[in-house]
Homo-oligomer: A and B are copies of this chain.
Amino acid sequence: MKADDKTNNRTTIKTVSLAAGVSMKTVSRVLNKERYVSERTRARVERAVADLQFTPSVAARILAGKRSYQIALIYDNHSPHYIHQIQTGVWARCTEEGVRLLAQPSDVSSPNLASEIGGLIDQTQVDGVILSSPVTDAAVVLQELERRNVPYVRISPGTEQARASSVSMDDVKAADDMTSHLIALGHRKIGFIIGHTNHAASDQRLFGYRRALDRAGVSYEPKYVLPGAFDFSSGEAAADILLDLQTPPTAIFASNDDMAAGVLTVAHRRGLALPGQLSVAGFDDTALASQLWPPLTTVRQPTRELAYAAASLLFAMRGEVAHRRLPHELVLRASTAAPAKA
């Protein structure tokens, strides 16, 4: 990349101060909405800023001040749709606040995760971090952030920790709701595909499934519960096993939509009538859910809203720990129905 010849005619705070007839410091005060600036002066400065189309240099602000006007979003998630929602939500809130967002993909299984994140902080001096699952549960990361005294918020499906702020939804309740829906339709043999083990939500959803069965007096059958990894192919694999059972389930509840899509594919491949011979439910309400056939019954996870709320929490942070819980919603589509008579 060619060295860009910035022939020093940048508009700086000095240019503005000259134009407005005040000191640099006063311009700085206006820019930062500090107290003790008279209305007249403020107006004059704002005028000059607008006329000159002045935009302060983030670099200089970071170097001189304590704030960097940047926060980082750290994620390691293989669902593009989920990440996109998270990014969009956080970004929206950042824009309102005039703060820049650095998106930082990472790898929770990397041995030097903590030092990578430490490096990021040193380099960019971000003044806050938002963590999305499963990085929310990487102890080394939390430690690193605490050691460096960097405020952070966890977007954490289902889990709250006393030490750090978080936003979450009630995964247990959501899975319970979905399972109860299937039971209400008349299903008694309900398969369940667990999510990836490094996501805290996976346990929560499993627990919700069991709780609903329990309450309804439906016996829990370990053979109906299989591990998955939140991806399409693990959904296919689990579905094949479930449908090969002597008494296969009449409904399968997958811990996310991708795995549910895998179940649908297997069902189609086997020529099953859907939803008559097999009901399928997912979790997340990704774009995928409504584009499948039959359209997928699922749980709408308020991802974008969670992300937005997380950023709000970060900006409002004053040292204390806070938690926000956002409501989920059962989205009933055509992939679930009463089981066919035996």
Contacts and interface: CB of A to CB of B under 8 A. Distances in A.
A6 B81 CA distance: 37
Contact of A287 (B1, B2, B80, B292): B80
Given A103-B87, A287-B80, A290-B232, A55 B119 contact: yes
A101 interface: yes
A296 B264 CA distance: 15
B317 A1 contact: yes
Interface in A84-126: 84-85, 87-88, 91, 100-103, 105, 115, 118-119, 122-125
Interface in A260-274: 261-262, 264-265, 268
A249 interface: no
A247 interface: no
Contacts of A319: 2
B123 A55 contact: yes
B1 A151 contact: yes
Contact of A268 (B55, B83, B293): B293
Number of copies: 2
Contacts of A1: 127-128, 151, 314-317
A15 to B, nearest CB: 12
A318 interface: yes
Contact of A102 (B3, B63, B88, B102): B102
Given A58-B123, A80-B85, 11 more contacts: A1-B151, A10-B122, A53-B115, A55-B122, A58-B59, A59-B59, A59-B63, A59-B125, A81-B81, A101-B102, A291-B292
Interface of A: 1-6, 10-11, 53, 55-60, 62-63, 66-68, 80-81, 83-85, 87-88, 91, 100-103, 105, 115, 118-119, 122-125, 127-128, 149-151, 232, 258, 261-262, 264-265, 268, 287-288, 290-295, 314-319
